[in-house]
Amino acid sequence: MATAFASALSVLRQGGVSIRPVNVGDMLDKLAGFNEMIMFYEGARFHKERFEQYGSRLEDLADLVREGLKIPAERYEKAQQYIAESKRRMATLLKATPVIVFPAAPGPAPLGLSSTGNAKMNAPWTALGDPAISIPMPVGSALPLGLQLTADYGQDTRVLRTAVSVQKILGDG
């Protein structure tokens, strides 16, 4: 992924795209973790009645409810506060850098249909409510690798237009 990402950035630079690094890795890691915790917390409370009725027959959903009910409200509230602070920080950053690009996943898509892969790279944008789109990077005959583009909340059109432009520069992937 690192090689394909660096190559894609190089092609974009050669295509006239202005690219500069942004230092948000730690924040994104925390947001990914908080996003998962919030999903478990809220999912458990939403599905609690169904879990009480059907128990382990719900399989993965039963596990989500069991784990989510263990999360204290104070931890959930702290996660919500961190997300609110991060939204403000990202909004400021995105004024100077209207679109940010990242790898869409830590590695290639998994074989088969049993999983869509690791969502860690998309989770921060889900937590923030910011639009994100993934487009294929050129990798030849290897399993697909994606380039993810994101922008500030409400800037869906900006992300889509940029994705179309970037895809034209990168080629068919």
Q: Please indicate, yes or no, whether residues 103 and 164 belong to a single structural domain of this protein.
A: yes
Last residue of a domain, one of 36, 59, 94: 94
pLDDT at 138: 83
CA distance 150 to 131: 6
Structure-token pair, residue 85: 């602070």
Q: Please indicate, yes or no, whether residues 30 and 17 belong to a single structural domain of this protein.
A: no
Q: What b/e readout covers 43-56, taking b as 16+ CB neighbours within 10 angstroms? A: ebeebeeebeeeee
pLDDT at 135: 94
Give the domain range for residue 50. Answer: 23-94
pLDDT at 173: 45
Last residue of a domain, one of 94, 116, 134: 94
Q: Please indicate, yes or no, whether residues 116 and 166 belong to a single structural domain of this protein.
A: yes
Q: Please indicate, yes or no, whether residues 13 and 59 belong to a single structural domain of this protein.
A: no
Q: How far is CA 97 from the centre of its chain?
A: 18
User: Could you give the number of structural domains in the chain?
Assistant: 2
Q: Quick one: which of 98, 134, 95, 100 has its CA closest to 117? A: 134
Q: Quick one: which of 156, 163, 102, 166 has its CA closest to 130? A: 156
pLDDT at 91: 93
The pTM (predicted TM-score) of the whole model is 0.85
Per-residue pLDDT of the chain (173 residues; tens, 9 = 90+): 899 999 999 999 999 999 999 999 999 999 999 999 999 999 999 999 999 999 999 999 999 999 999 999 999 999 999 999 999 999 999 999 999 999 999 888 778 888 777 888 999 999 999 999 999 988 877 777 899 999 999 999 999 999 999 999 998 54
